[in-house]
Amino acid sequence: MPRLLIVYHSKTGGTAQMARAAFEAADKEETEALLVQAENAGPDELLAADGYLFAAPENLAAIAGVMKDFYDRSYYPVLGKLDGRPYAQMVCAGSDGENAVKQTARIAKGWRLKPVAEPIIICTHADSKEKILADKTIAQADLDRCAEMGQALAAGLAMGVF
């Protein structure tokens, strides 16, 4: 059975909601879906998976540090071993999200992963210290988009499309 690894980091809950929506939808397909926090993921999890969904918040116009740490710890041990595997990404951002998307895409390109979906960026419009630090609630319509991505990735893996 193909395995979809969903690696995420979340401090204020937004990205966790996005990743969980994707996981719950993916878990209904004929694929083993794994939801792993970035601090607990590494090369072994990447090597054991057939496809990936990376979900991270954008902090200060960059990938959140915990997610970056996951990439740093994993990059060289798996380099040249993931070539051609599919991936997609989701970003929870306060105002933009584009730079986090670019950073993750650059890392995935180095791993020679194949992008199979347009990135999802959920903007929370957090534009003050209080809003940035507050717990997030992601709208159902946005969670539905995340679920669709998880389901599509899992279904694609199960059917051998990727």
Angle between helices 98-110 and 65-78 (to 10 degrees): 10
81 φ, ψ (degrees, to nearest 5): -115, -5
Q: In this structure, what token pair is assigned to residue 72? A: 């740093």
pLDDT tens-digit profile of 67-123? 999 999 999 999 999 999 999 999 999 989 999 999 999 999 999 999 999 999 999
Q: Which CATH number does the domain housing residue 24 bear?
A: 3.40.50.360
Q: How many domains does the chain have?
A: 1
pTM (whole model) above 0.95: yes
Kindly give the pairing relationship between strand 120-123 and strand 86-93: parallel
pLDDT tens-digit profile of 20-64? 999 999 999 999 999 999 999 999 999 999 999 999 999 999 999
What's the pLDDT at 70?
A: 98
Give the residue numbers spanning the domain of 37: 3-159
> What DSSP string describes 65-127?
HHHHHHHHHHHHHHTTTSTT-EEEEEEEESS--HHHHHHHHHHHHHTT-EE-SPPEEEE----
- Alpha carbon 123 to its chain's center: 15
Burial of 56 per CB tally in 10 Å (0-12, 13-18, 19+): buried
